[in-house]
């Protein structure tokens, strides 16, 4: 069965949008140049000592700032969107 010209163009545009949405932010992130902050002038033999920092409550894990619930919602939304797109693409054209 031969695909129509319109369907082929629509698929190419969709694929291009996905590629651009993936590549452009990665390129911008890779181009960022973060300067190092100026550090204090410390000689290696200054005689200073550093004490170890002990955890106040060793039974808990430190909070790293990860939003697990938000990421889970994004994943569920992406799975639902993919399901809808697949179901729409498999329907007959006359229905």
Where are the domains positioned within the chain?
1-29
Chain-wide mean pLDDT for the chain? 76
Looking at per-residue pLDDT, the higher value among 87 and 47 belongs to 87
pLDDT per position as a tens digit, 70-84: 888 999 999 999 999
Q: Which residues contact 42 (CB under 8 A, 6 or more apart)?
A: 48
Through-space distance between the first and last CA atoms of the chain, rounded to whole angstroms: 18
Q: Report the pLDDT value the prediction gives residue 81, as an integer from 0 to 100.
A: 94
Sign for the CA dihedral angle at 22, 23, 26, 32 comes to: negative
């Amino acid at each position: 069965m031969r695909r129509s010209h319109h369907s082929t163009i629509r698929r190419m545009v969709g694929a291009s949008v996905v590629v651009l949405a993936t590549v452009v932010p990665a390129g911008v992130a890779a181009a960022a140049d973060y300067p190092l902050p100026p550090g204090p002038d410390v000689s290696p033999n200054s005689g200073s000592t550093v004490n170890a920092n002990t955890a106040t409550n060793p039974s808990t894990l430190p909070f790293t700032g990860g939003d697990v619930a938000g990421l889970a919602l994004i994943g569920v939304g992406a799975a639902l969107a993919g399901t809808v797109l697949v179901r729409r693409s498999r329907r007959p054209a006359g229905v």
